[in-house]
Amino acid sequence: MEKKIKLFDTSFTQNRELSWLRFNQRVLEEAQDDSVPLLERLRFVSIFSSNLDEFFMIRVGSLHDMSLLKSPHIDNKSNLTPSQQLDRIFAAVRPLYKKRDKILQEIESQLQRYQIFVLHLENLANGDKKYLERYFQENVQPVLSPQIVDPLHPFPHLANGALNIVTRLKLGDRENIMGIVPIPAFLPAGIFLPGEPLRYLAMDQLILLFTDQLFPLYQTISRMVVSVTRNADINLEEENDELEEDYRHHMKKVLKKRGRLAPVRLEYQGDCDKKLLLALRSRLGLQDSQQYRSRLPIHLPSPDALAEKLPLAVRRMLTYPPFESRYPADLPHGPGLIKHLQQQDLLLLYPFESMDPFLHLLKEAANDSSVLSIKITIYRLASKSKVVEHLCTAAENGKEVTVLMELRARFDEDNNIQWAERLEESGCRVIYGFESFKVHSKICLITRRDKGKISYITQIGTGNYNEKTSRLYTDFSLITGNPDIGSDAAEFFKNMALSNLDGIYKKLLVAPRTMKPGWLTLIDQQIALAKEGKPSRILMKMNSLTEREMIDKLVEASCAGVPVQLIVRGICCILPGIPGKTERVSVTSIVGRFLEHSRVYCFGVDDPQIYISSADLMTRNLTRRVEIACPILDSQLKEQILEILSVILHDTQKARILQPDGSYRLPQREKKLALDCQQYFLEHGWETAKPREKERPSLWSKLTSIISGHKQ
């Protein structure tokens, strides 16, 4: 008897993967924006491409695995099977390639005005070819390993994401011989030709130009550059549930599998040889729908590499103007920071405000005789990490330093393994969390004994302890001396060391046990207020919204009369404006210079309850990860967060508004000031180190006065 498949109400939801593709399309559209400097537009094309690479490796890879299972699995937002989702994905991606090629051609054309030429094989001059041939023969050909494919030379493994030249060769009567040239990763991405103007040729194009010289016995019929994307969604617990070896060593072994899993995509550029493509697909086990043609090189020129070759004046015209993250006024730069933070909470908004206060706090704690211990969770770190440096100093100074290192931060696993080894060498205690739950929380606890009394300084953030991304991502970082939050943090680290997910906390909401029930309760409170005719509101900012029960609860709130304002950068599976379902729901997405990464959850109108969190409203965050949401208790900091969110909701330049059909539109601009919220934050700012003086206008009042003046 066949198992009956449960179908879901999809009248107000959309498929997660298709929603993500629309997000990545918005990233690509930033490359079309004339207000964005040219090299930054090129960067957005690169971000679009790397996003798509990861999407195929993880999401398409996961769906591919699910499609092989015998038991049916239906997506609860679209009622689609994995195979049906894959079909929709492959069809939706194809026009994005065409759009990317068109945008890239436009950017390259405009770069020529600044004497920057990205060369292609069809526009090389004879003099260029002579120089390139000499360079090829001296620097490239000696390190290449061309081979043919026949019974004695089996089809080689094509590494995940690597570039290869694939040719169809002829020898006598044999005209379907396949030749393959892997392009070594140690070769430069491209070369700059000597002299002026600035001219760049991608390495794969150089090798493609002289492929004939690599197969001297054969006649080349066709040639193309190809890249295979493989499923990288490895199961890190697949080896053995009861590990007898060190978990770090286990991770090293499992990660080696990532480059050899099943192919999920074939990209090619060059001659469109149907026979050769068919032979390749057959070898790789791919369908026609999984191959994508790029008319331009698959790997794009690096905006940074181009910028380095330019005169300073030209570089400034083609890139974003540099900025300095602000250090909060009246906040000590050196000793005295701990004392200050014990008396007053500090809220930082990266990258507009600097990460330095937190780094200075760690440095002071490492050398403070009153500090007993430092405990921290780490998910991603910079390649050169001051955080690690200060933790190691603390351990070497005799402090108890505990680091909960998440080794399964996707694509940062190797980096985290190396940092874990460095921390252990310095005397830090390194633990690795849980087998089945990633620890995604961002929390640091400093414990002091002063005059016989224990006190805490707790930092909780929405982003990683990564100095580099703190200048690229928008994130909140709260540093507080609140004793209840400190005791919760101490309890949290104790529970992590004991593998206890069922801890009880006074202030913090901690997934996977209390966060989701906490959100549902807070929404229910707003529903009750609305039904009583009292003011109510739900205002949330996050990266993604996919969790079905949370979506249904937001729909219930909308139907009860609660205004639901959502700021969702990426995936959003709820559709606003559906009659009788989501009429009171609005969804805004911001894609701009900085990656919108902060998560904020606000409930209520008068004295709202506000939390910052490391978690999105996704099933994985709420049920399969250890996440933390921390309440904002200081009334001034609450006001500042609401001001920030209000400015974002008034953005008319980078904002896009989700429509009932899943598409996105620009906000209505009639009689409104052209506002880019991120640029506004760069130019205006707010004080977080001291109470706001009455005569100093708030961030929001500054904006409203500007808008009022514009209307007049």
Reply yes or no on whether the pLDDT at 665 is more than 90: yes
Does residue 382 belong to any structural domain of this protein?
A: yes
Q: Decide if pLDDT at 691 tops 60.
A: no
Would you say 176 and 275 are in contact if contact means Cβ atoms under 8 Å apart?
yes
Q: Which amino acid is at 310?
A: L
My answer on whether 397 and 341 are in the same domain is: yes
pLDDT at residue 699 above 70? no
| pLDDT value at 242 more than 50 | no
306 located within any domain: yes
CA distance 49 to 55: 10
Mean pLDDT, rounded, for 323-344: 90
Q: For 329-339, what is the mean pLDDT?
A: 86
pLDDT band, residue 674 (cuts 50/70/90): confident
**Do 220 and 348 reside in the same domain of the chain?**
no
695 pLDDT exceeds 50? no
Report the pLDDT value the prediction gives residue 482, as an integer from 0 to 100: 97
Are residue 705 and residue 578 in the same domain, yes or no? Answer: yes
Give the CA distances from residue 281 to residues 236, 264, 285, 291, 569, in Å, rounded to whole numbers and listed in that order: 29, 11, 6, 8, 35
Domain identity same for 643 and 663: yes
- Residue 70's pLDDT is 78
Query: Region 12-22: what's the mean pLDDT?
Result: 97
pLDDT at 192 over 70: yes
Q: Which of the pair, 165 or 336, is modelled with greater confidence?
A: 165
- Reported as a pLDDT band with limits 50, 70 and 90, residue 399 is very high
Question: Which pLDDT belongs to residue 696?
Answer: 45
Q: 701 pLDDT band (50/70/90 cuts)?
A: low
Mean pLDDT of 263-286: 94
Cis amide leading into 512 (omega within 30): yes
Q: Which amino acid is at 329?
A: A
What average pLDDT does this structure show over 410-431? 83
In which band, very low, low, confident or very high, does the pLDDT at 270 lie, cut at 50, 70 and 90? confident
519 and 475 in a common domain: no
Q: Are 553 and 581 in contact (CB under 8 A)?
A: no
pLDDT score of 19: 98
Position with higher pLDDT, 386 vs 333: 386
Judged against a pLDDT cut of 70, whether residue 710 lies above it is answered with no
Q: What does the pLDDT average to over 219-230?
A: 96
Model confidence pLDDT, tens digit, residues 25-47: 999 999 999 999 999 999 999 99
Q: Which band of pLDDT confidence, cut at 50, 70 and 90, is reported for residue 4?
A: low
Reported confidence tier of residue 94, pLDDT bands at 50, 70, 90: very high
The pLDDT value recorded for residue 415 is: 78
- Whether 695 is in a domain gets the answer yes
482 and 567 share one domain: no
For residue 2, tell me if it sits in a domain.
no
Name the band, by pLDDT with cuts 50, 70 and 90, for residue 175.
confident
Last residue within a domain, chosen from 484, 507, 530:
507
Geometric angle at alpha carbon 181, from 57 and 54, rounded to 5°: 10
pTM of the entire predicted model = 0.91
For residue 575, pLDDT beyond 50 = yes
- Assess contact for 587 and 658: CB atoms under 8 A: yes
Does any domain span residue 237? no
**Looking at the structure, do residues 556 and 448 belong to the same domain, yes or no?**
no
pLDDT band of residue 252 (cuts 50, 70, 90) is: low
pLDDT exceeding 70 applies to what percent of the chain?
90
Q: How high is the pLDDT of residue 669?
A: 64
Q: Identify the CA nearest to 433 among candidates 457, 416, 458, 415.
A: 416
The answer on 497 and 519 residing in a single domain is: no
Residues 570 and 699 in one domain: yes
Peptide bond into 197 cis (omega under 30): yes
228 vs 4, higher pLDDT: 228
- Average pLDDT score, the chain: 90
Q: Active site residue: 440, 650, 684, 710, which one?
A: 440
Element (H, E) at 341: helix 337-343
Q: Which domain holds residue 463?
A: 337-507
pLDDT band at 643 (very low <50, low <70, confident <90, very high): very high
Domain end point (choices 288, 318, 348): 318
pLDDT at 410 over 90: no
Residue 440 known to be catalytic: yes
Element (H, E) at 557: helix 548-560
| CATH code of 299's domain | 3.30.1840.10
Claim to verify: residue 495 and residue 521 sit in the same structural domain: no
Write down which residue in 483, 507, 531 finishes a domain. Answer: 507
Check if the beta carbon of residue 348 is closer than 8 Å to that of residue 358.
yes
In a domain, 641, yes or no: yes
pLDDT tens by residue, 588-628: 999 999 999 999 999 999 999 999 999 999 999 999 999 99
pLDDT of residue 335: 83
The top-scoring range by mean pLDDT among 154-158, 408-412, 693-697 is: 154-158
Structural domain total, the chain: 3
Residue 623: C-alpha distances to residues 341, 414, 496, 512, 571 (Å)? 33, 26, 16, 5, 18
Residue 535 pLDDT more than 70?
yes
In a domain, 459, yes or no: yes
Is the CB of residue 117 less than 8 Å from the CB of residue 198? yes
Q: Of residues 709 and 265, which shows the higher confidence score?
A: 265
In a shared domain, residues 463 and 433: yes
64 and 176 co-located in one domain: yes
pLDDT score of 687 more than 50: no
**pLDDT band at 449, cuts 50/70/90?**
very high
> pLDDT band at residue 1, thresholds of 50, 70 and 90?
very low
Q: Is residue 249 part of a domain?
A: no
- Give the other-Cβ count within 10 Å of 129's Cβ: 14
Strands 400-405 vs 429-431: parallel, antiparallel or unpaired: parallel
Q: What is the CATH number of the domain that holds 434?
A: 3.30.870.10
Q: How far apart are CA 62 and CA 201, in angstroms?
A: 36
pLDDT on residue 411: 66
73 — pLDDT class (breaks 50, 70, 90): confident
Helix, strand, or coil here: 542? strand
The mean-pLDDT minimum among 5-9, 264-268, 556-560 falls in 5-9
